[in-house]
Structure 1
């Protein structure tokens, strides 16, 4: 398997930026990994905070332990400002993942041509 394909697969399935580390492009790999992991951590923190809020309301008796009551609380849209930040984090996560895969493949193809 050539370097281009290995780098793209590492970036796609391990971590964005992983393919860049494989190609010894440490600065780009660090940037892509940081953006991706930062966005992922932000989204996970928001999800855990929402779940904690709902579980606290259940424990305090403010809402009953009934799926028909809990499900709408889980699926309702967050406030406008919070939804904007969630969308930005999601967009950053997807874009950094795609850029990581495409750029790793492109840099790997250049490295493959240089070896031949």
Structure 2
């Protein structure tokens, strides 16, 4: 298997930046990995905060202990700045991953041709 394909597959299926580490491009690999982890960490933190808020509302009796009421609270879309930050973090994660795959493939092709 060509180096370019291995690098792209590592970045696609293992983690963002893995292909760069395989190609010994540690600086770029670290940048991609840290960006992806930061975006994913924010999304996980937000999900945790949202779950905590909903569970507190259930315990305080603000949300009845019924499946449809809980489902409605969980699926309620965020508004305002919260929605903007979630969308930015999601886009950042996806773009970082895609750019990592494409760049690992590009760098791998360069090494294949040498």
Normalised TM-score (structure 2) = 0.97
Distance 1:63 1:107 in 2: 53
Unaligned regions of 5+ residues in structure 1, if any? none
1:110 aligns with 110
How many residue pairs get aligned? The number is 114
Instruction: Provide the residue aligned with 2:89 in structure 1.
Output: 89
Query: Who is 2:14 aligned against?
Result: 14
The CA distance in 1 between the partners of 2:51 and 2:19, in whole Å, is: 34
Q: How does the TM-score come out when normalised to structure 1?
A: 0.95
Taking only aligned residues, the RMSD between alpha carbons, in angstroms, comes to 0.7
How many Å apart are 1:78 and its aligned residue? 1.0
Verify: 1:38 aligned to 2:42, yes or no.
Answer: no
What's the CA shift for 1:61? 1.9
Unpaired runs of 5+ residues, structure 2, are: none
In structure 1, the residue matched to 2:72 is 72
Following the alignment from structure 1 to structure 2, what is the Cα–Cα distance between the partners of residues 73 and 58? 10
Q: Which runs of 4+ in 1 moved over 3 A?
A: none
2:51 maps to 51
